[in-house]
Amino acid sequence: MKADIHKTLTRLDLIIGRETNCHFNNPVAPGKIETFEKKNGIRLPLSYKLFLEYTNGGMIVSDRLEEIIKRDKELDTAKWNATFLLSLEEIEEKYNDKASWNFGGAELAGGPYPFIPFCSTETDEYLVFVSLSKENEESPVFDAFHEESVNSWGLVAENFNEFLISYLDTLGHPNVLGDVAKGMAVDFIETPETVETGEESQEEIIDRTTKRLKVKSDDDWAYMERGMAYMKLGDAKSALKDYNQSIALAGDDPFYYFKRGELYRNAGKKRAALIDFDTAVKLKPDDALYLSFRAETLYDMKKHQRALKDVNLVIERDDTDLLAYMIREDIYRAIGETEKADLDAQKIKELEENK
């Protein structure tokens, strides 16, 4: 498979050099793919990861759309009307959107939402992979029409390389309609019983990442992963050293600031924690976890109104966010809003009962 996708990427490179209607991004930044996978507990197919390392998404458009791009001097209109391969950042955004819709996938998998959108079609639908546990295992490509249940998401291609070949053959106009007779997305979901966990111990993670860093000393995710392992073993000093190195190498990753802020907060360094949570929220304003942890830190510092603003924003976006309600109940009690606190306590009870 690795050899096959490299041949296809070489062909894509030739097409980009020959055709004027190609719009592809620079490669994804090193370590970003692994960060995305670890953070969400999912795995992209190897073939798509190699594609992202060649180009972080893009599209081949029709002559009509190329004229629109030249006229408007931007790609947004074309993206809405083309079959567009998503960047890693767009994958994460759409993954979070679909995970909130759910379609029952997380319940079937018994874990993280298993469907990963990677391609937007001309009709504003998505093609998806299924997250699989084995590193070199390739997911088929399925159509994920938003008005249909997961049980009717049919097979489009046997793997991403096959789909990319079709994409290049048709210069950006591949078949995107799945065939349920050939396979359905729901049949490829791994249940807890079918997944071989083989979880590493923290010591094994430290050993593996240390060896990795001897070969590639600028691997920001390896530092982060090792730091998290140190934290779980109670070695905050070593963890902080690795977190600092991750941030020095990739200062635009909000997750790294979040983890360091969490460490500072656990160590009682509230102001330092708040600075890191502020940075995480600035880099990713819509992240409920970052907002909630900042709110909790503000609450600890008795900055109740600022804390309340953060948790209200989380609850406005998701009225089932248990952590946000728990923090808000504490805030309301601290400022003497007992009736509102009791209402949140009741909501917390309902959410816990409906888990």
Q: What is the domain partition of the chain in residue ranges?
A: 2-188, 202-353
Residue with tokens 């990795």: 212
| Each residue's pLDDT tens digit, 175-230 | 988 888 888 887 777 654 444 445 678 898 899 889 888 878 888 888 999 999 99
**pLDDT above 90 covers what percent of the chain?**
49
Provide the whole-model pTM. 0.55
**3-state secondary structure at position 166:** helix
Provide the CATH topology of domain 2-188: SMI1/KNR4-like (3.40.1580)
Q: How far apart are CA 161 and CA 50, in angstroms?
A: 10
Strands 115-120 and 179-184: unpaired
Contacts of 315 (CB under 8 A, 6+ apart): 321, 324, 325, 328
Give the strand order in the sheet containing 154-157.
22-24, 58-60, 84-85, 115-120, 126-130, 141-144, 154-157, 179-184
Separation of first and last alpha carbons in the chain: 41
State phi, psi for 118 to the nearest 5 degrees: -130, -10
- Res. 102: pLDDT tops 50: no
**Averaged confidence pLDDT in the chain:** 86
Give the pLDDT of residue 19: 80
Q: How far apart are CA 133 and CA 116, in angstroms?
A: 13
The CATH class, in words, for 202-353 is mainly alpha
| Each residue's pLDDT tens digit, 217-252 | 888 888 999 999 999 999 999 999 999 999 999 989
Nearest to 167 by CA among 309, 295, 19: 19
Question: Mean pLDDT over residues 70-74, rounded?
Answer: 87
- Res. 2: pLDDT tops 50: no
State phi, psi for 179 to the nearest 5 degrees: -120, 105
**Number of H helices and number of E strands within the chain?**
17, 8
- Res. 134: pLDDT tops 50: yes
Question: Mean pLDDT over residues 322-350, rounded?
Answer: 93
